[in-house]
Amino acid sequence: MKGTKHEHDDAAAALRQTSLRVTKQRVAVLGAVRDHPHADTETVIRSVRESLPAVSHQAVYDSLHTLTEVGLVRCIRPAGSVARYERRIGDNHHHLVCRSCNLIVDVDCTIGQAPCLTPSHDAGFVIEQAEVTFWGLCPDCAAAGAQPTGDDQFSVV
Ligand SMILES: [Zn+2]
Ligand SMILES: [Zn+2]
């Protein structure tokens, strides 16, 4: 499935709906983010280099930044983690994060639209969104008897 014509065309189509120019790099970065949900920058770079071996770190960083700005890619930063990128956008979904192995899993929005939590008081703010991260142990780590670590020990893969 990876790098098929269909995916290539789809990424290009998504780019065409923005004001961005369709470049090989941006198409490759979008494809990499879709193939590796919640990937960190290093993973995206490795994946992009499978189709564009000469691409620079900086070019991938720049593409990720630009694609995030126009909303084609969502950037999440669980506490203690490096930035992670995903193609699943616009649905206000949340994340389950394993404290032991850093696995990140999507979970649908609690009520279906933002903000899905109501603060006990809003201090006059116009509330747009609640970012929810559920922390715990994934099934494998729980079965292996891993102990959840504190935030300060959260290690980055
Ligand atoms: Zn785990
Ligand atoms: Zn996600």
- The DSSP string of 125-141 is --------EEEE--HHH
Q: Which residues are annotated as part of the binding site?
A: 98, 101, 138, 141
- If DSSP codes are grouped into helix, strand and coil, which group holds residue 116? coil
pTM: 0.81
Average pLDDT (137-147) is 91
pLDDT at 154: 47
Given a contact cutoff of 8 angstroms between Cβ atoms, the answer to whether 108 and 95 are in contact is no
Q: What angle do helix axes 24-35 and 57-69 make, rounded to 10 degrees?
A: 80
Q: What's the chain's average pLDDT?
A: 87
Structure letter (DSSP) for residue 31 = H
Which numbered ligand comes closest to the C-alpha of 34? 2
Distance 76 CA to ligand 2 centre (A): 8
Residue 1 has pLDDT above 80, yes or no: no
Which numbered ligand comes closest to the C-alpha of 148? 1
- 43-47, 112-116, 120-124: the lowest-pLDDT one: 112-116
Domains present along the chain, CATH in parentheses:
5-76 (1.10.10.10), 90-143 (3.30.1490.190)
Burial class from Cβ neighbours inside 10 Å (0-12, 13-18, 19+) for residue 122 reads exposed
Q: Is the dihedral of CA 46, 49, 51, 56 positive or negative?
A: positive
Q: Which residues are annotated as part of the binding site for Zn(2+)?
A: 98, 101, 138, 141
pLDDT tens figures, 78-118: 988 899 999 999 888 999 999 999 999 999 987 777 888 88
List CB-based neighbours of ion ligand 2 within 5 Å.
Answer: 86, 106
